[in-house]
Amino acid sequence: MPTTYNGIGTRYAGRRNEERREAACHSCGRLVNLTSYDTRLWFVILFIPVIPLARKRILDECPVCRRHYAIDAEKWETQKQLGISGAMDTYEASPTPEAAMELHQTMLNFHQRAQAAEFRRGMVEKFGENAHVRAYLGEALTRVGNAAEGAPHFARALELRPDLPEARVGVARQHLGAQRLDDARGLLDFLEKPGAEHLYSLEPLEILADAYRAAGQHAPALELYQRLLAGLPAIGQVPAFRKKVQLSEKALRPAATMLPKRKRSLKNLWRSAGGLLRAAGFVGLILLLIGAGFIIANEYNRRHRTIYVINATDADTSVIVRGAGEDQTVRLARMRPGDAKPNMQEIVLPEGHYHVLIGGEKTEEFDWDVRTEYWDRWGGKNVWLLNVRGAALLLSEHVTYRRDPPPPTFELHFGRTAEALSGITNPFTVLPASLQMKSGEERVLTRLDFFPGEPSGLLGALALQHREAEAFDLAEWMLRRNAADETMLQNYVALAAQAHQTPRAERLLRTGLAVRPVNIPWHREYQNLHMNRADEAALAAEYDGLLAAQPENSALLYLRGRIGPDGGAFFERAHRADPMNPYANFALGYDRLAMADAAGARPLLESALAALPESVQFAQLLWQCRLALGETAALEAEARAAIAREPLAIGASQRLIDALAAQGKNADALKIAASYARAAAQLPPEERTQLHATVRRHALYATGDFAALEKDAAPDRTPAGRRALLQALIEQGRAAEAVKLQPLTAANVEDALHCLLVSLALRQAGDAATADAWLERGVQLLSASSKAEQNFARILRDSAPPNPAELAALKTDTMGKAIVLATLAAQHPEQRAELHALVRKLPLARTYPYHFLQRLTAAEK
Amino acid sequence: MTREEFDAHVRGIERRYRGRPLALRLRLVVLAAVGYAGLLAGLVLVFALAAFFLVPAWLLPIADGWPFWFLGGCALLGGGAAVVRALWVRLAPPEGRVVTRREAPALHAALEDLRRRLGASPFHRVVVTGDCNAAVNEVPRLGVLGWPRHWLQLGLPLMESLSAAELRAVLAHEFAHLSGRHGRFAAWIYRLRRSWEQVFARLREPYVKSAVSLRPLLLRFIDWFWPRFNAHAFVLSRANEFEADAVAARLAGAENIASSLLRLEVHGRLLGEKFWPDLWLEANRTDTLPPDVFLRLRDTLRAPPPAQAGVWLEQAFRWTTSTADTHPCLSERLRAVARLPAGIERGEFPAWPPALVPSAAETLLGPALEKVRAAVAARWQKDSAENWHARHGRAAALHDRLARLDTAGPAGTDADGLWDKAGVLMKLEGDAAAAPLLRQFLALRSEHAGANFCLGRHLLAESDAAGEAHLERAIETDEDCLPGACELLLVHFRRLGREDRIRATQARLDRHEAAVAASHTERLNVVAGDVFIPHTLTAEELAALRAVLVADPEIAAADLVQKQMRHFQKQRLFVLCLRLQRAWYQLPNRDREQAAVARLLPKIRLPGRKLVLAPHGGFRALASRLASIPSARIFRRAAAKL
């Protein structure tokens, strides 16, 4: 059928050769005037015919439901002419009643009613006394909706052949129409004979029975229904028929019903149900299937739970999970140094109660429920972990996917042997970089995996998110597992200090003091917590006590030497007790360097570094020592080799810059900063910018280009940028401007040496009053620090001129010592030359305030 | 493939492989492989489609791969179900009374002896049925894929008809097909052909009304494959029959196989054409099925020869083998075992075989015979009850109709009344009862196709050659009668041994079947691409047509041609194009043209089908084509303006 959408589509237009007939619509079944006509099919726009598509003959269009047949007009015309002329030819060749009936029927089939009517007149003339022909004409006319014209033909046929079934049925139908039911029944008596159903259709009998029922004559109706049931037993199961019989039986109330027992079957139920019920049944069936699918999926999930068994310990382990079915045994190798990930195996178990046995050096067993709520099984995304000894550090990362996503959040999982996690969408698999989603949609995926980096790095991240408690838990768990993790130890102590949790750190550190062999870094951190005026005496007493138990313990001797200003003797004893003790060698080397004895410090520092090559502190001091000794060419070569191995090593780049600057190769030093920028191009933008700025500023300072440093740092508002700007201003003699960046009243002025330096700079700039204030602040801060620094404070407060020999023997950080000596020189102009000479002798790193001190003491060169 | 093509194909195979049996066997192996491959192709396709989805599903994690699992599962389950449903066919084992070794030790001993001697497969069951034959039924457990179970089916009428020795010969023949006596390959092909024949026949049966199925596709393959395989296997099978007869002759004696073949032939006809029809006529009188049907059958077989005995015997020996027959005809089989009675060529035929007492049933079933007979009769009653009661009910209605016809008017005055009455009598009592009325009716309406057909059918059944003419007349009047009439004629000519007439009738039937569908389209369609020839109207007919055209002043010219018919060439189809007068400045007016066509169409009389058209509109191309045919112009008005 032609259709249009918003006025565009196809449509019939025009109507010719229209014919009508009354008949039941083949689609909706209504008794209507069906129309046939010629028309044209058009392509229409806004219902306006635009393009003619085809000529059509429309057949039997229902005025109600508009359904019809359509055929190409030419094809229809051809078939009509050839069909009728063919039948006509047959009839003319053999003018029998059969041929006449065939021709007439062909004319009616092609809707040639006028032609058929004309031919019918001839038929009646020629075969009017043939009962078959008369009965046919009656039937044909009735079929085309002209029952009135057909009635005389039936009547004549019955006159001619009272036995002719077609004639009897035809006349009976007229009686039915006129409500002469008994007359009709008389004519249809042959249908009531036994076996009639084998020869004739019993439909007229049913129509008659229905007519009796409608007329309230239920007795004859029931007789006829009984006859129908006898001839066609299957009709007894047809709901419509049963309903009719029941209505008549209800009226007459016979002793027993004639209807057979209803066969109960789904098919019958389906057939007897109405359209709505069928639709509901269909929907119900679909829902049932979907429900069954969900239940099966739920049961499948219940029976297939994945348990991840992880071994991050340093021992081979077996894990036995005992419960439903056979025991599941998992053997996992230990995690070796260099392994990227711990060993892991998956086992699939049904939910239930289990007993877990973990073997290895220290066996462990416990009961464990692997279970979820029924409703959580579909979307719960649950994960069960058996983390042997809780040794693996796992991270669950929640990533939000949307147009403007928030930063990912994460949680840490460690220290627990058995754990159940929910909402894990990607267990041990990577998250997609992007997802195809609807606009405005938000989706959160959660990945569970092993933490890939150094756990010590996590502390800072946690602190930044104000999750100090987690950071402490992690650090303490890591330190209990590996007390030798120096980086973690330092970060932990630093974090404790920053979060004002020193007592907590002390409690932990105290637990490791009695451990032997002595863990020197552990003790150092412990000591660092007490390196202040109040605690130092007690600390010294504590270590004296330890030494009393082991007087020749090199480590304890070294540690004791760290307390108070007179540690040199202890360091010597420690060295004698164990010449290979790297810390004792380092301490001695440090002292030598503080006394400007770089040549004497070198072998000691070298020995210390050889024993503990991973120590950054040892390496830096040895570098400083060698720089002071003028080994710049060798240092340059070493730094270049280190960069070649690791182009992004920032320390190596800075060392190379220092080595080049020390040789006066300022241009080369700046080139190193540029090449570092190229190497860092592969890094993420933020990290790249930050690292490059660090190296560049270091190069600018080392080469003494402070104007460029100022220009570089000025736009940078970060703490690092402000610091670089301050340094550039101080170095350029613009102390007043520098002080504005960080006034004395600022809360973060806590560095005593910085205060002394600013004081020197201000004094040099002629602002004595402000310089005095900064000096006072510096001295105050020194007084509150360790005993060695208190010593500096005492010297600075002393109005008497200092003893240069005594000052030369001070064993402390060279840069700090240099600043203090320079300050003393400012306080005591009479000894300036001598003190400045001492400063110039000290082996200083080429970092701030190297150039300031060099300029300040330049007269004594 | 038509019958004629099949016959030609079989003859071609016989020629091609004459003296090269190995090549024929090789060809059959290839065809059998093609058959299995074709039947399993659907399954292979389903597996391939499922693998297309399931392999990536297997490789992907379940979270990503589940759509592939779903699609693969759907393909496997849906496709697999569709293919299995298409291939699924269940051959029911023969229904009948199972006879155990304990009940009939003699029968089982005879069977075991034969089986052992021939090295045939053992039987799953031995079943006695109500049919007049013996057969080994292979019921495949896996449908088209085979794995058969062997059921021996023994007809009680056959056992009543033959002696124990004759039955042994018949069984030896059947067993020979299953044994390796004439080669395992031949036996396999024989069994495969029989098995596929049954299975394919079942596949063609509609199983669920309006169901969507892959079966039509499968049937397309079978339509292509089966005639080819069957033709090759046919050549081999026919040879197998002779070999099986030879085996039976060696094991049971040539006399016994010869006499059993003759008995089966004539007793089969006796039962089929006399005993069973007479028995079913009883349904007209009584609604109760006879309980002693197989006792009556035994008595019929032992009764003196019927009146038609001589004719039936002669026809049994004259019967020829056609390509529709897997078994050679009687005379060929008797000749092969050197037991063809002398004088057959001279028209001397043997006597009706004498009645046998005791029969094979009595000898081999012994005391169990009564029980077996009762059981077979009970099954017959059960199987026939519905048809019996229906026939009885129909007979009651027919009697009523007959009575009304008799009361409606005196017979012989109304031709239609006669035809109706004859129809009722034929339904009620058979063609013979209606023959006088049919003759009476044909005296009034000699051209009536139905009456000629029915009378011809009756006469041929009575071996009266006059029936041929009636059937020919029926075909002449109504070509739709041709298939049925030709089938009757074929049987008639085969009984007479008229091979020339058989071939001609088969060819006629094939031609008709091929032409019917095509001619329907040909007769009801005319397009510009058809072949047109000059009209074949006589001068008078043409003059009459011109007179009609002249009488209408609007007609300026007319073209007439005749469509060349490829089928039913006697029929004529005329195409007439009417061209109207119009001034040089006027455009063609389609409405005017259509009105002229409608006006003249009833007046134009042509001896055949006709299509009258105008040169514009939908028939433009056809009209142009007519104008290009030089002899088409039959009328042009003087000084006409086109």
> Considering only CB atoms, which chain A residues are within 8 Å of B401?
163, 165, 190, 199
Split at pLDDT 50, 70, 90, the class of A243 is very high
Write the pLDDT tens digit of every residue in B376-430: 999 999 999 999 999 999 999 999 888 888 887 655 457 888 888 999 999 988 8
pLDDT at residue B377, as a whole number = 94
Contact pairs from chain A to chain B, CB under 8 Å:
99
For residue B157, pLDDT beyond 90: yes
What is the predicted pLDDT for the residue at B206? 59
In chain B, what percentage of residues exceed pLDDT 90?
A: 28
Least CB–CB distance from A81: residue in B61, B414, B612: B612
For the segment B252-266, the average pLDDT, to the nearest whole number, is 91
Q: Average pLDDT over chain B, rounded to whole?
A: 85
Lowest mean pLDDT among A351-355, A710-714, A779-783: A779-783
Q: Cβ distance B40 to B48 under 8 Å?
A: no
Among residues B436, B441, B480, B428, the alpha carbon closest in space to that of B459 is found at B436
Instruction: Find the closest chain A residue to B523 by CA distance.
Output: A82
Q: Which residue of A has its CA nearest to B479?
A: A90
Q: Rounded to an integer, what distance in angstroms lies between the CA atom of residue A530 and that of residue A509?
A: 12
Q: Which of A7-16, A479-488, B517-526 has the lowest mean pLDDT?
A: B517-526
- Residue A860: the pLDDT is 54
Task: Give the residue carrying structure tokens 């009135």.
Answer: A148
* Band of residue B209 on the pLDDT scale cut at 50, 70, 90: very low
Q: How many CB atoms lie within 10 A of CB A445?
A: 18
Question: Are A94 and B394 inside 8 Å of each other by CB?
Answer: no
Which of A37, A107, A199 has the highest number of chain B CBs within 10 A, making it the mutation to test binding with B? Answer: A199
Minimal Cβ distance to B400: which of A130, A190, A429 = A190
At A27, the pLDDT band (50, 70, 90 cuts) reads confident
Interface of A with B in 135-174 (CB under 8 A): 161-165
Query: Average pLDDT in the A102-129 region?
Result: 91
Question: In this model, does residue B110 exceed pLDDT 50?
Answer: yes
| % of chain A with per-residue pLDDT over 90 | 39
Residue B324 confidence (pLDDT):
66
Question: Among A218-227, A265-274, A300-309, where is mean pLDDT lowest?
Answer: A265-274
Distance from CA of B348 to the nearest CA of A (A): 48
Residue A746's pLDDT is what? 77
Q: Percent of chain A at pLDDT above 70? A: 98
CB-based contact A161 B409, cutoff 8 Å: yes
Contact criterion met (CB < 8 Å) for A162 and B404: yes
Give the range among A481-485, A707-711, B169-173 with minimum mean pLDDT. Answer: A481-485
Contact A74 B619 (CB under 8 A): yes
- Output the six-digit token pair for A408: 């990912």
Least-confidence region, from A525-529, B72-76, B196-200, B394-398: B196-200
The reported pLDDT for the residue numbered B362 is: 92
* Residue A187 distance to chain B (closest CA, Å): 12
**Parallel, antiparallel, or unpaired: how do β-strands A317-322 and A328-332 relate?**
antiparallel
Contact B396 A78 (CB under 8 A): no
- DSSP-derived secondary structure for B248-274: HHHHH-HHHHHHHHHHHHHHHHHIIII
Look at strands A69-72 and A328-332 and give their pairing.
Answer: unpaired
Range 187-206 of A in CB contact (< 8 A) with B: 190, 193-200
Residue of chain A minimizing CA distance to B524: A79
Residue A601, number of CB atoms within 10 A of its CB: 28
Cα of A101 to nearest chain B Cα, Å:
14
Question: How far is it, in rounded angstroms, from Cα B16 to Cα B26?
Answer: 13
pLDDT value of residue A556: 92
**Residue A647: which H helix or E strand, with range?**
none
Question: Rounded to an integer, what distance in angstroms lies between the CA atom of residue A634 and that of residue A627?
Answer: 10
The DSSP string of A83-113 is HHHHHHHHHHHS--HHHHHHHHHHHHHTT-H
Residue A605 has pLDDT above 50, yes or no: yes
Inspect the interface and report whether the beta carbons of A161 and B416 lie closer than 8 Å.
Answer: yes
Q: For residue A306, give the nearest of A237, A368, A381 by alpha carbon.
A: A381
* A552-603 tens-digit pLDDT: 899 999 999 888 767 788 889 999 999 999 999 999 998 888 888 889 999 9
- Are residues B416 and A130, on separate chains, in Cβ contact within 8 Å? yes
Q: What is the mean pLDDT of residues A732-736?
A: 89
Q: Which of A74, A194, A200 sits opposite B396 (nearest CB)?
A: A194
Specify the residue for token string 């079942």.
Answer: B202
Residues of A in contact with B618 (CB under 8 A): 55, 72-74, 77
B340 has a pLDDT exceeding 60: yes
pLDDT average, residue stretch B23-28? 85
pLDDT tens digits, A119-176: 999 999 999 888 999 999 999 998 888 888 999 999 999 998 888 999 999 999 999 9
Chain B interface includes A429 (CB < 8 A): yes
Taking an 8 Å cut-off on Cβ atoms, the answer to whether A193 and B404 are in contact is: no
Residue A353 host element (H or E): strand A352-358
DSSP E strands in A206-351: the ranges are 305-311, 317-322, 328-332, 343-349
Q: Contacts of residue A167 in chain B, CB cutoff 8 Å?
A: none
Which pLDDT belongs to residue B182? 55
Confirm or reject contact between B524 and chain A (CB < 8 A): yes
Other Cβ atoms less than 10 A from the Cβ of A774: the count is: 24
Interface mutation vs chain B, best among A119, A190, A198, most B CBs within 10 Å? A198
Is B401 close to A162, i.e. CB distance below 8 A?
Answer: no
Q: What is the pLDDT of residue A650?
A: 87
